[in-house]
Amino acid sequence: MASFTASLSRPPSPLLQTPAATASTVYIPLSFASRGLYFSVPRPSFRSLQGTCSRGGVAAFVTKATSAGAASAAAEKKANPERVQRVHSIEEFDAALQAAKNRLVVVEFAASDSDQSSQIYPFMVELSRTCSDVDFLLVMGDESEATRALCEREKIDKVPHFSFYKGMEKIHEEEAIGPDQLMGDVLYYGDSHSAVEQLHSGEDVQKLIEDHKADHKLIVLDVGLKHCGPCVKVYPTVVKLSRQMDTVVFARMNGDENDSCMRFLRDMNVVEVPTFLFIRDGEICGRYVGSGKGELIGEILRYQGVRVTY
């Protein structure tokens, strides 16, 4: 089954006369697109990222797991019990979504004979221990007629399949993803406690700018789309930087969230995402297009007055 990102990843119309999209960006197929600079940069790997969850919420950081010994591992599991709820029917599934209210719910649809399901499940368990504001569900599609009916209703025909829900609505889905993609998705769609301000309209952007005219802080606005792979990939880096750079204000907007956000993208001539806008004293002083961790950090430092040599 095709993922939601497929339609966003298609090459732009020849009418736009833009370069071919890269793995680090996604084109926005809008008629207002205009020619600009396009950067081809590598995606950050899971190994290069410090983790993105904590016991207090999905937005803090967790270091990479190490084999510290059986005793410490047992103590860790006791302190942070597994929070993956296994559901066995449509009724249990709907009840779990309803109980979650507006929290992010991550559902793995798996099968007992799927090696990929077996490989990704332990990582989801670790996420469940550290991301206390996200609910995790497991559905074994070949368990019974009831779980097969649930998979059929949710249109699941391949496993492992991850679906993301908020407010009883499916907001995203992925097939056969690895730990880095799962971690990025959980953070991107469940972020509610980080230092990254979530903006939902052009008016929100204007208010943020006004709020920081007096302190002269640099604003880094991450503009993306809901189902943009590169946007998800770079977001853990954005969250980490927001915690480390207290002299910089980090914010995010999904351009396809509503008409106001889309108008903002059109007004800013954003035709490729992720695009990072750098704003100071009420003026846009530059932008960076791409999902390269090192390049993004370099651009932020440059607009902070630090001399950067590439």
Annotated catalytic residue within 131, 151, 231, 261: 231
User: Pick from 132, 108, 220, 233: which is nearest to 183 by CA?
Assistant: 233
User: Which token pair is 17?
Assistant: 């006369």
Cis peptide before 11 (omega within 30 of 0): no
Which amino acid is located at 26 in the chain?
V
**CA 168 – CA 39 distance, rounded (Å):** 38
Residues in the chain: 310
Count of CA atoms in the C-beta half-sphere (13 A) of 217: 17
Residue 90 exposed, middle or buried by CB count within 10 Å (0-12, 13-18, 19+): middle
Q: Which residues contact 232 (CB under 8 A, 6 or more apart)?
A: 181, 184, 185, 188
Residue 304 exposed, middle or buried by CB count within 10 Å (0-12, 13-18, 19+): middle
Has 231 been annotated as catalytic? Answer: yes
**CA 9 – CA 7 distance, rounded (Å):** 6
- 186 neighbors 106 (Cβ within 8 angstroms): yes
Helices (H), the chain: 70-79, 90-100, 115-130, 145-153, 179-190, 202-211, 229-244, 259-267, 293-303
Q: What is the DSSP letter of 155?
A: T
Count of CA atoms in the C-beta half-sphere (13 A) of 281: 4
Catalytic residues: 228, 231
